[in-house]
Structure 1
Amino acid sequence: MEKRKIKDNIYWLGAIDWDRRLFDSLIPLPDGTSYNAYLIKGSEKTALLDTVDPPMEDTLMEQLRGVEKIDYIISHHAEQDHSGTIGRVLEKFPGAKVVVTPKAKNMLMDLLRLDESVFSPVEDGDVLSLGDKTLTFIHTPWVHWPETMVTYLEQDRILFSCDFFGSHIATSDLFVTDPGRVYEAAKRYFAEIMMPFGKVIAKNLEKLKPYDIDMIAPSHGQIYDQPGWIMDAYDQWVNGAPKNLVVLPFVSMHGSTRQMVDHLASALTDQGVRVELFNLPVTDIGKLAMSLVDAATIVVGTPTVLAGPHPMAAYAAFLANALRPKTKFLSILGSYGWGGKTVETLASMTGNLKVEVLDPVLCKGLASQSDFKALDDMAAAIAKKHKDLDLV
């Protein structure tokens, strides 16, 4: 695909990765992704903002054919899907300076073995003139690495946001054409990548408020030509209260735990609490992560395996602990054959969650009437907790 005009002398470059289905050997990509770079031609200087993942470097280099000179390569983020082709671009434009945060300079020297002489570090708020176009660099640490920054183009009121506000979508549409689809993809992206840094992201959202932003151009996904709704969504995701929602990731080997899960889900529904079940052997982990953005309560359902939780249940607990959602309450349900330390093991894996732990319900073999009564009590307790916090 050729470079595409966004505004006068501002172009999208990059590559659409229609086939990619896994990112970082970890994150599902049901809709593929894109690696967005941008070319800004000022009256005096030209800047390339980010590059592409190395497997797509030939696409970017073909798009740069006919570009006479690049004076600056703006590297917002050192991760290789953004920075990995900088070396190749420098071969074509050896006079270009790589504009980075001071932390990014050191990281790129380590990751790409670039010589120190190619860098031009910038501090938070520094300004770079391209002639008739002015770039302001805003440090946004931990969105989602410590060295990240974004760039604001003053004259055209465009925020080049790198991973901030990104979404993994492969599409030929340059701008957002289906906000519902993009909202879901952006929420998935936030849940899987940004949520652990919610408190810092809230501060970085505040840093953007003084800027008049008409357009957001991220490094993954489509360009927002009406950016207000995605900025509002981020504000809700990081600052808003959790919702009246119980997320219940579970695994069942012989049906006992599933029977308990179904009973609790029904009891919660009767209490006016919304429930989302995730049968872990067949779950899209990205969907589970998205649900954690809103969950007020997590209940992990697991049988006992070798005296501890089922490995898939342990993974769900590990994931929640790593993502650090705004969840307020946590509990466990499940069954065992002769004993074990399921509760202790899962509790030791969730130290990052600032939650109130509710009494677990574990049964020996199939659940009895007293076990079902305990599940009804759990549902009632959760409903009261949610009501006391006025969750909706």
Structure 2
Amino acid sequence: MQKRKIMEKIHWLGAVDWDRRLFDSLIPLPDGTTYNAYLIEGSEKTALLDTVDPPMAEVLTAQLDNVPKIDFVVSHHAEQDHSGTIPQVLERFPQAKVVATPKAKGMLMDILKIPENAFVTVQDGETLSLGDKTLEFIHTPWVHWPETMVTYLQEDKILFSCDFFGSHIATSDLFVTDQGRVHEAAKRYFAEIMMPFRNIIAKNMEKLNGYDIQMIAPSHGQIYDRPSWIMDAYQDWVAGDPHNLVVLPFVSMHGSTRKMVDHLTAALVERGIRVELFNLAVTDIGKLAMALVDAATIVVGVPTVLAGPHPLAAYAALLANALKPKVRFLSIIGSYGWGGKTVETLAGMIPNLKVEVIDPVLCKGLPAEADFASLDRLADSIAQKHKENGFR
């Protein structure tokens, strides 16, 4: 795909990765992704903002064939899917300088072996003139690495946001055309890499409040030519109250835990609570992460294996601990054969979750009437806590 015009003297460059299905050997990509770079041609200087993942380097270098000069390569983020092709760009344009935060400079030298004399570092709020176009650099640490920044093009009111507001979607559309699809993809993206840094991201969003942002051009996904809705969505994901939602990841080996899960689900629904189930044997962890963005309560359904929690349930606990959702309550249900320390082990895996633990319900073998009654009481407790907190 050739470079594409956004507006006069501003072009999209980059690559559409239709086939990629896994990121960082961890994150599912059901819709592929894009690696977006942007070319800004001022009256005096030309800047390239970001590059592409190294396997797509030839796509970017071909797009640069008719570009006579590049004076600056802006690196918003040192991770390879953004900056991995900077060495090839510098080979083509050896006079170009790499513009980065001081922290990013060191990381790029370590990761890509870019020589120190190739860099120009910029402070928070510093500007760079291209002649008739002015780039303003805004440091946004922990969105989602410590060295990240974004660029505001003052004259055209465009925010080049790197991973901020991004979404993994492979598409030929330059601008957002299906808001529902992009909303889901952006929420998945937020859940998987941004959610652990919610508090810092909230402060970074406050920094953007003083800017007139008419367009957001992220480094993954489509360009937002009407950006207010995605900024509002981020505000809710970052700082909004949890929803009246129970997320219930579970695994069941012989059906006992599944019976408990089904009973609790029905009891919660009867009490006006929305429930999302995730069978950990087959679930997309991205979908689970998305549900955790809004959840008020997590209930883990887990059988005991070799005196401890089933490994898939342990993985779900570790995932929730790493993502640090704004969940308020946690409980555990499940079945065991002869004993063990499932509850204690799982509890030790979630030190990052600042939650109130509601009494777990464990049964020996198949659940009996007394166990179902305990599950009903658990549903009562959850419903009462949601009501007291005004979750909707």
TM range (shorter): over 0.9
- Counterpart mapping for 1:340-359 below 5 A: 340-359=340-359
Distance 1:196 1:88 in 2: 33
Distance 2:278 2:334 in 1: 15
- Counterpart mapping for 1:355-374 below 5 A: 355-374=355-374
Q: Give the total of aligned pairs.
A: 392
In the alignment, structure 1 residue 318 sits paired with structure 2 residue 318: yes
- Deviation, structure 1 residue 315: 0.4
- Report the residue type matching 1:203 in the other structure: K
* 2:244 alignment partner, SS class: strand
- Report the residue type matching 1:365 in the other structure: G
- Counterpart mapping for 1:328-343 below 5 A: 328-343=328-343
- Report the residue type matching 1:134 in the other structure: T
1:311-367 deviations in whole A, cap 9, x for unaligned?
Answer: 000000000000000000000000000000000000000110010000000000001
Distance 2:56 2:254 in 1: 46
* Counterpart position of 1:75: 75
Distance 1:319 1:98 in 2: 36
Distance 1:275 1:66 in 2: 54
In the alignment, structure 1 residue 43 sits paired with structure 2 residue 43: yes
* Counterpart position of 2:209: 209
In the alignment, structure 1 residue 139 sits paired with structure 2 residue 101: no
* Counterpart position of 1:193: 193
Distance 1:284 1:276 in 2: 13
* Counterpart position of 1:287: 287
* Counterpart position of 2:21: 21
* Counterpart position of 2:85: 85
1:45-64 deviations in whole A, cap 9, x for unaligned?
Answer: 00000000000000000000
- Report the residue type matching 1:239 in the other structure: A
* 1:34 alignment partner, SS class: strand
Over the matched positions of the two proteins, sequence identity in percent amounts to 77
* Counterpart position of 1:159: 159
Distance 1:238 1:373 in 2: 37
- Deviation, structure 1 residue 104: 0.1
- Report the residue type matching 2:7 in the other structure: K
Distance 2:155 2:356 in 1: 49
- Deviation, structure 1 residue 368: 1.0
* Counterpart position of 1:253: 253
1:138-181 deviations in whole A, cap 9, x for unaligned?
Answer: 00000000000000000000000000000000000000000000
In the alignment, structure 1 residue 117 sits paired with structure 2 residue 107: no
- Deviation, structure 1 residue 205: 0.3
- Deviation, structure 1 residue 66: 1.2
* Counterpart position of 1:269: 269
* 1:143 alignment partner, SS class: coil
Aligned residues: CA RMSD: 0.3
- Report the residue type matching 1:264 in the other structure: L
- Deviation, structure 1 residue 296: 0.1
TM-score (normalised: structure 1): 1.00
TM-score (normalised: structure 2): 1.00
- Report the residue type matching 1:158 in the other structure: I
- Report the residue type matching 2:17 in the other structure: D
* Counterpart position of 2:234: 234
